[in-house]
Amino acid sequence: MSPNGGSGMGLGPGPGIGQALKDARRRLGMDVGEAEERTKIRAKYLRALEAEDWEILPAPAYVRGFLRTYGALLGLDGEMLADEFRRRHEEPAAASPAPEPFLQGRRSSGGRPPSRGPLIAGVALAIVALVVVLGLIGGGDDEPDSTAPVTAGKGGGDGDGKKNVKSNADSKKEPREPVDLVLEPLGSVQVCVVVSGEALIDGQVLAEGAIEEFTGQKRYRVDVGDGGVVRVTSSGDTQKLRAEGDSSWSIDSRGVKAIEYQGPDCP
C-alpha cells in the first residue's frame, strides 16, 4: 500500500483516489479543518483518505460513506470514488476497467454502478429466491409474509400495523448478533444508514437499483425520505420499507422495527 495517492491503487495513468481528493481540495483553496467542519468527518480520517492510509480508517462501509460525502463536497463523483475503493480493496478478483476521471456527472441520473451491479444483483436475487423456496417448503397460511412492507409515518411506531420480522415475545430475549444488510432503493429516494452514531450513507439520494451492502454490525438505523420505498434483506428476511412521511427503522438480528423518525441529521 502506497502512503501517497495514486500508486497504491494501481490505476495506471491519472491520479488515484487520495491524490484526486487532495488536488480537488487544494483547487478550492480549502484546508482540512474547513473540510472537517463541513463534512462532519474527523480530520484524521480526511487526511487518511488523501494519503490512502486505509489501515487507520474504520470498516470499508464507513470508508465508502466518507468518500461519497467528501467527494461531493469537493465537486467530485463521490459514487465513483466509493465504487473504485470497493473494486480495489473489497473485490480484488474483479476485473479492473480503464481509469476514468472522478468528476461529477460521469453517470446519467439513475445509472447503476457498472462494476458491482451484476455481482451484487446476483447475490440479492439468490437471497430472495432462497427466502421464497423456504416459504414454500414451510407452507401454511399462518406463516408471516417476509416481503410485507413495514410502513412508518412521521409519528414513528409501526405505522399501518404491518408486522415486524421476529416480533414474537421470545425475540425480546434474544441477544443481538452481528448481521449483514442489503439495501436496494425502489425508486429515487433519500437514505441515511447509521451505525453507532456514524453515517455509512449520509443523507444521499440513491437511484433505483443502486444496491448497498453492509456487514457485521449489530444494529442499523435506516432513515428514508417522505414517500420513499427501499427493499432490505437481513438475517435471511427480505422486506420493503415504505415511508409515509420521513421515517426511520431499526434493523438487527431480532428483525425490522419502525421507530420514531431520527432525522433530519444523519446522524
Sign of CA dihedral 173, 175, 181, 183: positive
Q: Which pLDDT score is estimated for 7?
A: 34
Separation between Cα atoms, residue 219 and residue 254, nearest integer Å: 10
pLDDT above 50 (res 225): yes
Separation between Cα atoms, residue 191 and residue 202, nearest integer Å: 7
* Predicted model pTM: 0.44
Q: Which pLDDT score is estimated for 231?
A: 92
pLDDT above 70 (res 108): no
53-75, pLDDT tens digit by residue? 999 898 999 999 999 999 999 99
Q: Which pLDDT score is estimated for 142?
A: 43
For the record, the C-alpha cell of 222 comes out as: 435506516
Q: Please give the residue that has the higher pLDDT: either 82 or 107.
A: 82
How distant, in Å, are the alpha carbons of 5, 8, 40, 79, 88 from that of 52? Answer: 6, 8, 19, 17, 12
Query: In order of start, what are the domains of the chain with their CATH numbers?
Result: 7-89 (1.10.260.40), 117-259 (2.60.40)
Q: Which pLDDT score is estimated for 183?
A: 84
Phi, psi of 150 (to 5 degrees): -100, 110
Residue 181 confidence class, pLDDT cut points 50, 70, 90: confident
Taking residues 239-262, report their average pLDDT: 89
pLDDT above 80 (res 213): yes
Q: Which pLDDT score is estimated for 215?
A: 83
Residue 192 parent element (H or E): strand 189-195
Residue 19 confidence class, pLDDT cut points 50, 70, 90: very high
Residue 98 confidence class, pLDDT cut points 50, 70, 90: very low
Separation between Cα atoms, residue 69 and residue 65, nearest integer Å: 6
Among residues 170, 66, 182, the alpha carbon closest in space to that of 123 is found at 182
Question: 160: left (phi > 0), else alpha (psi -120 to 50), else beta?
Answer: alpha
Taking residues 20-29, report their average pLDDT: 95
